[in-house]
Amino acid sequence: MRIILILLMVALGGCTSIPKGLTAVDDFNLQRYLGEWHEIARLDHSFERGLSRITAEYRLNETGGITVINSGYNDKSGERESAEGVAYFIDEPDKGSLEVSFFWPFYGGYHIIELDKVDYQYAMISGPNRDYFWILARKPTLPESLLKALVNKAKMLGFETEHLIYNELMSKP
């Protein structure tokens, strides 16, 4: 029984680590990050398939964690769908590396690997491996030159940027 528990803990913990060769941002300021973000681009995943106008909202909750509300417009039903989760810092709160759960007890890594530290207007997020990747912004669009620079950086970091899905307001740079 003890071996099964240890294996389960290792398996669950392995889903939150940052991919090899990537670094989460330092000097992260949660207060500035809170609020609504728009998905600009992502790698495909079943939990977002068929959704458009996707947003993520982050706010503090009473447990000391961060409430995460992801929502998107379902193109088939014509209605907005949402999922609520919770996030906690993995290490120090000034490091942009968190674990997020939408289905307790399972957590996944949420690692901010690029961030506009001046105005907190855009961010690049990696999951626990390079299959999970998002570009987020405070507005539904980014200037084309900035998007191109972010996509190029993601490619250099080993993400399969040729498979990125862009929101309906952005075109492939």
**CA-CA distance, 141 to 65, in Å (whole number)?**
29
Contact 108, 97 (CB under 8 A): no
CATH number at residue 123: 2.40.128.20
* Enclosing domain of residue 96: 2-166
pLDDT at 8 over 60: no
Percent of the chain with pLDDT over 90: 77
pLDDT in tens, 51-105: 999 999 999 999 889 999 999 999 999 999 999 999 999 989 999 999 999 987 7
Sorting pLDDT into bands at 50, 70 and 90, what band is 6? Answer: very low
In a domain, residue 74? The reply is yes
CA dist., res. 17 & res. 39, Å (int): 22
pLDDT at 126: 97
Q: Would you say residue 89 lies in a domain?
A: yes
Which residue's structure tokens are 């190029």?
152
Q: 80-89 and 122-126: which strand pairing?
A: unpaired
pLDDT, position 73: 94
Which phi-psi region, left, alpha or beta, contains residue 78 (left: φ > 0; alpha: ψ -120 to 50)? Answer: left
